[in-house]
Amino acid sequence: MTTFDMVYSIVRKIPEGMVASYGQVAEALGNRRLSRVVGYALHVNPEPGVIPCHRVVKQDGQVSPAFAFGGANQQVALLRAEGVEFRDETHVDMERFRVPTFILSQGESEPEEPAYRRSAR
């Protein structure tokens, strides 16, 4: 399993109506310094409707100005549709909507092979 596959597995654990920071996802990977790698992985998300990359925001709650699937406005719209509230136009209320990091670290030891890999064979 690649690092990107591990990122996708972790991001799938973020419940609807909650968000995680890039750093939280990196920490769940085992190295908080991999925040940029998390961003790279999400930017090339192979299953945007399945892997909820819109639920990952900056540490201060700011949505990504470079959201790969429609820009920051689309990310805000997707999060609002899930019930996530904002402090202003671009910052999620992290005190209320940040997922606890331990939820991201729980789970399967050997996740199922992603569908996009199975279909590539």
In tens digits, what is the pLDDT along the chain, a chain of 121 residues?
899 999 999 999 999 999 999 999 999 999 999 999 999 999 999 998 899 999 999 999 999 887 767 777 899 999 999 999 999 999 999 999 999 989 998 765 444 555 555 555 4
pLDDT at 72: 73
Point out which residues pair with 91 in neighbouring strands. 62
User: Is residue 65 classed as helix, strand or coil in its secondary structure?
Assistant: coil
**Closest Cα partner for 115 from 5, 11, 29, 17?**
5
pLDDT at 50: 93
* pTM for the predicted model, two decimal places: 0.85
d(CA 16, CA 54): 10
- Asked whether the beta carbons of 17 and 92 are under 8 A apart, the reply is no
Domains identified in the chain and CATH numbers = 3-118 (1.10.10.10)
pLDDT at 119: 54
Looking at the annotation, which residues are catalytic?
A: 53
pLDDT at 109: 41
